[in-house]
Amino acid sequence: MRTEKLLTPGPVCLHPAARRALAGPQLHHRSRPAEELLASLRKNVSAVAGTEGETVVLTGSGTAAMVALVSGLFAPGARVWVPIAGKFSERWAEIAASAGLEPLVSEYDWGQTVSPADVPTGIAGALLTHSETSTGVLQPLAELARAVRERNPGALVVADAVTSFLLSELRLDDWQVDAAAIGSQKGLMSPPGLGLAVLGPRALAALRPSGYYLNLERELRAQRAGQTAYTPAINLVAAAAAVLEEVVNDGVEAHLKGKLYQNDRFYEIGQRVGLEPVPQEEGARSPATAAFYLPPGAKAAAVSEPMLERGWRIAGGQGPLKGRIFRISAMGYLEEAELERAYADFAEVMSLL
């Protein structure tokens, strides 16, 4: 099998701490070391997300955390605002509808920034997407949450932070964001398979039992006692806990600065050859991924194939942007020399376009 390194916006190249944890012997999930790893992951995720609340670790991908939050925080029939500006905000609306909620949708062009002016009144909550990975846009989460709460004081604000956690600043409590969904295969530089549901103080108070497997209320009770309701993907808990411990010890702020710089380098290279970024505003670029429109007449393979020949996998577009854009991401772990090689190869491929 040809080896390839991932410059995709998830999954990503693993952090060495994750690789080391995965190479260890199989842990038993009811053992003391497993309890400690779960506690460490829960504590550090809450702290990095900026909440005094708690984190529930779920076995499943990021979408599992989104589903669990929607059904655990809202009763069927609740009206929730969902601004759609990409694939993942669209997913919020689909999850809300499937849980019997009444999604009140505001539609934007993909690549656009959501406007706080559009926040409606009369809603029980808002399902927002912080970093919209399908377009590379970092949405103004703090401003949106503020507008939601000003117009709807009792509303709960729930954010998809799947590609903003450990990539962009997150201050849930300060921003009045009540809950967030995270996945293990993005900023955490771990394998796919964990969904993390972060619950701020108001979300903890509002939590209701709902569903069976993804029942956040039941999981929270188990996890407060150092357990999980069912057998968790404990190997992934070990990997993610180890990575986060290391990043926290080294300093989250410096880590975020590094990720922003690494992503900006891709933008610099693409723009040098005249490519148009998908995010319509320069200040709205997510550090999770660079996203560019393909030049007129060019197919996505004109970028992805020569990159793959050089050992790098990148991603195309999704939904209406399929075949029109490509995405390249430095979200994962790469040694500096490897990353420099990635930039050099990308610059070379760009010069061939």
Ligand X SMILES: Cc1ncc(COP(=O)(O)O)c(C=O)c1O
Binding region for ligand X (CB under 6 A): 10, 61-63, 88, 129, 131, 133, 160, 162-163, 183
Pick the closest to residue 54 from 169, 272, 223 (CA basis): 223
Residue closer to ligand X, measured from CB, 232 or 349: 232
Q: How far is the CB of 138 from ligand X (least distance, A)?
A: 11
In this structure, how many other beta carbons lie within 10 angstroms of the beta carbon of residue 121? 10
Residue closer to ligand X, measured from CB, 191 or 277: 191
Q: What residues have CB less than 8 Å from 219, skipping those under 6 apart? A: 56, 57, 58, 68, 228, 229
DSSP code per residue over 250-302: H-HHHHHHHHHHHHHHHHHHHHHTTPPBSSSSGGGB-TT-EEEEPPTT--THH
CA atoms of 240 and 91, how far apart (whole Å) = 25
Q: How far is the CB of 180 from ligand X (least distance, A)?
A: 11
Residue closer to ligand X, measured from CB, 71 or 163: 163
Q: How far is the CB of 196 from ligand X (least distance, A)?
A: 11
Q: How far is the CB of 158 from ligand X (least distance, A)?
A: 12
Residue closer to ligand X, measured from CB, 63 or 271: 63
Q: How far is the CB of 348 from ligand X (least distance, A)?
A: 28
In this structure, how many other beta carbons lie within 10 angstroms of the beta carbon of residue 31? 11
Q: How far is the CB of 89 from ligand X (least distance, A)?
A: 8
Residue closer to ligand X, measured from CB, 61 or 227: 61
89, 76 in Cβ contact below 8 A?
no
Pick the closest to residue 69 from 55, 87, 83 (CA basis): 55
DSSP state of 226: T
Residue closer to ligand X, measured from CB, 59 or 215: 59
